[in-house]
Structure 1
């Protein structure tokens, strides 16, 4: 059985490790020059946290394939990584401060993802029939 969320989590996990390592070693001086070391670390942390959330969504989909809200949760976690972590990565590397204005949109996507995960955990009306 192909599970797109597990595959996406695997790719995002590999990227998080690579980006985190490259940032800590190859880009440390550039990030420090922009004064954004903590910002970069925050981006990597949230990237990892929500990669694990996407992995959990994939596992839950394998167990509960009828839970439709899981797809939305996984999609919103992915959008959150792209917007939240992505904008912080670019901000850290370029110093372009206006990107900070879109970062909260990624945070909203994360929150909505967690809400959809909650909704997926609610029992279905027809579950006990």
Structure 2
């Protein structure tokens, strides 16, 4: 429970910091296309940071080792793969990195499906 609340809060902090860096540190240094890609990474990181916080709270109400725990690890993997690849793509402009992004998206989708199933089963 506490683990996902901490991981969620860290990712929310990083999303705010990276969003500010993108808006103030990268503006004028990156073409608009890559700045938009950066913003997409920040947006998805923040949404899933909030998801991690919710998972942390849900884990306080259900048995340990539930589907929610797996969902939390998938969300973290999604943040690393999805947002991380977009940040790297924005800074390096190496387009092949875009091939990693969908893997993070699949991790996000799987996490949300597990939350749906877990809510139906435990709540």
TM-score when normalising by structure 2: 0.92
Deviation at 1:90, TM superposition (A): 0.6
1:39–1:92: 8 Å Cα contact kept in structure 2? yes
How many residue pairs were aligned?
123
2:20 paired residue number: 21
Higher-Rg structure is 1
Q: Does 1:86 align with 2:84?
A: yes
Deviation at 1:66, TM superposition (A): 4.5
1:31 paired residue number: 30
1:71 paired residue number: 69
2:47 paired residue number: 49
Deviation at 1:28, TM superposition (A): 1.7
Deviation at 1:27, TM superposition (A): 1.5
Deviation at 1:93, TM superposition (A): 1.0
CA RMSD of the aligned region, Å? 1.8
2:81–2:103: 8 Å Cα contact kept in structure 1? yes
2:77–2:107: 8 Å Cα contact kept in structure 1? yes
TM-score when normalising by structure 1: 0.88
Deviation at 1:64, TM superposition (A): 2.2
- Give 4+ residue runs of structure 1 displaced > 6 Å after superposition: none
